[in-house]
Every structure is written in structure tokens, then in C-alpha cells.
Structure 1
């Protein structure tokens, strides 16, 4: 799994945008990896639909986060996922929780990967033949039928 991420913000009162892409390797896809979800430490800003946050509003006040984003790695049916999230406005433009949260997602994915790898491949086949007890029951009828067929051929 490869995770590439970036944070971009326009000058002014715009909220930063986190964009991350997760790409699974062919090997990970071949294991039928389940989708993995984690709760991040990335706070979801109030009025998350807004692209901006004005001074003295929402996270630019004494705001305490109450919701956090869920992060997800794709299932084996998707090779890649691309996600964009709005981050809360910060004067410092520092978001250490982004890398921390993506590392948590990676660790959860690796646990699922190990579990999937430990489910080893198997190819089994077999064959069963008529049992001796059934042959004992069938044999007299089969022998009589063959004798009758042989007699019928000779008389024909």
C-alpha cells in the first residue's frame, strides 16, 4: 500500500484541503484485502461544507473538536482511492495529526494484510469408489445381468 498526501490552502480565510491517495499493490489486491477503516485524530471542522472560516467564527474561536474524520483504505475491488477532506483553519498551518492518522491507517491495514497472508492457499482433490459392502450387494445382480446378456448374444 502506498499513501500519498498533500495539504493545500489558498491565501486568506480559506480552509486547508487534505488530499490523500491510497494505492494497493497487485499482491495486496490478490489477497482479497478487506476495506480498512480507522477513526483519525483529524478534527472535522464545524460547518464542514464551508470552504472558508472567518475571524471570530467556528474554529477561530475557543472551539473544541467534537467530530473526527474516518479514514479508509480501499478493498481489493478498488486499486486506488482518492479522498479530499477540509481541515480546520489554523494560523500556524501545521497539521501533525494528518501524518499520525495516516500512519494509524497504514498500521491497521498491515494487520489486515498479515491476517490475509496467513490464510494459506489450498488445492485439494480426491476420489471415492464404490465401497466393498455395496459391491457385495451389487455383484450378484451385475453378474446375473452379464450372464443373461452373454446368453442372449449367443442365441441371437
Structure 2
């Protein structure tokens, strides 16, 4: 389990507390990837902390934490996530029939309404436009 961290450690500590209380699947290993936070993540019993030398953003923090994962399944959680006491069990059970897969839980806002957090993978057309955009700087040159 990898939790990227930056900023106030309180939300991350709350999440870790909730994860330790999971029924019946308590995570065996919790890794906090501190992304060069101005407030370093404190030493916490049962938590491995990897501190990045400089801030690289969410993806870099995830990658730094994932380098330590040695299991076939990994869970990446935002540090401010609030989870119920059967979150890990429920997520693993829902994902099991789809393996290998990248899955995510249905998130809800404070009022209980579902939130959409997915992203569309880029299409070939989207990737082509992104690749060709830097070439636009040459459009005014005579050939």
C-alpha cells in the first residue's frame, strides 16, 4: 500500500489509523512516499517512509513508493482519503474477477453523492496532436 504525502501529515496519519483498523484484511505493509514535503512525514510505527530529495508531484511520489512494493497487488491511496472499516476487503473482492486490472473505488463527496474521478486514456488522434504541436513553431519559416 502506497500513500503519497505532501504538506500537513494529519490527514495521512488519519488514513493510516483507518487502514490499521480494517476488517478482516489489515494491510501488511504501508509505505508513505514523502514528496519533499516542507513538513516531513513523521516516523510512525509500522510505516515505511521514503522521502524524495525534491518534489516531483503525485506521479513521482507514487513511483518512489511503488519501488518498494514486492507483492503482486498494490494499492495507491490519496493521503486525504476517508475509508470505511471494510474498504480493503471490499476493494480486493470487487477487483478479483478483473485481474490483471487497474481498478479504483467509487468515491463520494461529503454529502454522499458519487464523484467521478476517472480519466479517459488518450486517443491516437490526441497523442498525434500533442506530438505535432511543438512543430507548429516552424510554421512561419520559408522552406
TM-score range, shorter chain: under 0.3
Q: TM-score, normalised by structure 2?
A: 0.22
Structure exhibiting the larger radius of gyration computed from Cα positions: 1
Structure showing the higher strand proportion among its residues? 1
